[in-house]
Amino acid sequence: MTRIVFTCGDVNGIGPEIAVKAFKKILKSKNTNQIIFACPKNVFEYYYKLTDAKFKFKIVDNQSSFSTSYLNVLLLPDTKTKLGYPTKVSGKIAYHSIIKSLELIDNNFADVLVTSPISKEAFSLAEIDFPGHTELLAKHENNNNYMMLFLSEKIKAGLLTIHSPISKISRLIKKDKIIKAIELINLTARKDLMIENPKIAVLGLNPHAGENGLIGNEETEIIAPAIKSLQKRFDVSGPFVPDAFWGNKTYKKFDMILGMYHDQILIPFKLLNFNNGVNFTAGLKLIRTSPDHGTAYDIAGLNKADESSILQSYKYAIKIFQNRNRSIAESKSN
């Protein structure tokens, strides 16, 4: 059994809707896992009716009363919603849902975390000083060695930089940072994804990967030396010309990919996996997965949201949890 806690995300977006739709499918099957949903009661009940859900649930505030036979709705205070808009209130509720979920994991009442989409604007309105889940969870563990990693059957790719303006990206490209990222992506592939000898590709930063210094020197002075320093230890190649790497489908030859900045990975990833991609925070003790899309305010409350990505997040969270347990068991037996 795996104990999974879901957050509600921004209650003015599609987070609660996709979660409830996912629960409909999970609880309809022969579920042996314990499912917990940290959400305001009035928001949950709204989407339970909107999606015509029939599954059993129980509103709980006692952590010892969780069950595998129904959805456990962990009570948060009722809240006002303004569907389709980020607000101070929605930012606070989203944050509170995360914190309550982390408390369950910290106190061993849950094993893994699946987070629904939040809004950076709503967080800002609520004066919550984090640009996203990744940084918040890393701060919770006091961990500086983490990575935003995107998972699907087609692509598994990580980011060297996360929510940084394009104007600052070049200054953030450092040799030691790239080395740590490659080491982490290799470890994650082996321990969390059970890829024994991962083939890793590293993308360049500039158009044409710098064209030997004609269009930038980050490749020749920073990225290539970092890759070379690790090639005796890991199967790592690059820096690849980014557009050709995707256009020629070179990505199919690699188990893991490291990109330099957000859109360099997210644009091709979402083109190929928009409703099935998963965001995983690699490097943390905590196992956290999330849909690869945002709050989709434009369709909030319309019963149009696709739950496929959060279902894949649920499946990956369980898979990673099982893989880590298997890895621990194997290391003890050796």
CA 27 to each of CA 20, 22, 33, 178, 319: distance values in angstroms, whole numbers, following the listed order: 10, 9, 9, 42, 18
Cα–Cα distance measured from residue 304 to residue 86, given in angstroms and rounded to the nearest whole number: 19
Helix (H, G, I), strand (E, B) or coil at 304: coil
Q: What is the pLDDT of residue 31?
A: 73
Rounded distance, CA 67 to CA 57, Å? 10
Asked whether 259 and 141 are in contact (CB, 8 A), the reply is: no
What are the backbone dihedrals phi and psi of residue 232, each rounded to the nearest 5 degrees, phi first? -80, -20
pLDDT tens profile 45-92: 999 999 999 999 999 876 667 888 899 999 899 999 999 999 999 999
pLDDT in tens, 160-208: 998 889 999 999 999 999 999 999 999 999 999 999 999 999 999 999 9
Could you tell me the CA-to-CA distances from 74 to 69, 266, 267 in Å, in that order?
15, 33, 35
**CA pair distance 93, 99, nearest whole angstrom:** 10
**Where does the chain hold its CATH 3.40.718.10 domain(s)?**
1-143+284-334, 146-275
Secondary structure (3-state) at 274: coil
pLDDT score of 333: 67
Classify domain 1-143+284-334 by CATH number: 3.40.718.10
The predicted pLDDT at position 64 comes to: 63
How much is the pLDDT for 248? 96
For residue 46 the two structure tokens come to 């709204």
Which H/E stretch holds residue 125? helix 120-125
Residue type, 116: S
What is residue 298's predicted lDDT score, i.e. its pLDDT?
A: 97
Least confidently predicted of 23-37, 139-153, 260-274: 23-37
Q: In this predicted model, what pLDDT tens digit does every residue of 245-284 receive, in sequence order? A: 999 999 999 999 999 999 999 999 999 987 889 999 999 9
Taking residues 295-311, report their average pLDDT.
97
Taking residues 20-36, report their average pLDDT.
Answer: 90
What pTM does this model have? 0.93
CATH architecture of 146-275: 3-Layer(aba) Sandwich (3.40)
- Between 131 and 196, the more confident residue is 196
Q: Cα(190)–Cα(282) distance, rounded to whole angstroms?
A: 12
Determine the pLDDT at residue 232.
Answer: 96
In this prediction, residue 322 has a pLDDT band, given cuts at 50, 70 and 90, of very high
The angle formed by the CA atoms of residues 307, 311 and 313, to the nearest 5 degrees, is: 120
Lowest mean pLDDT among 21-30, 198-207, 232-241, 287-296: 21-30
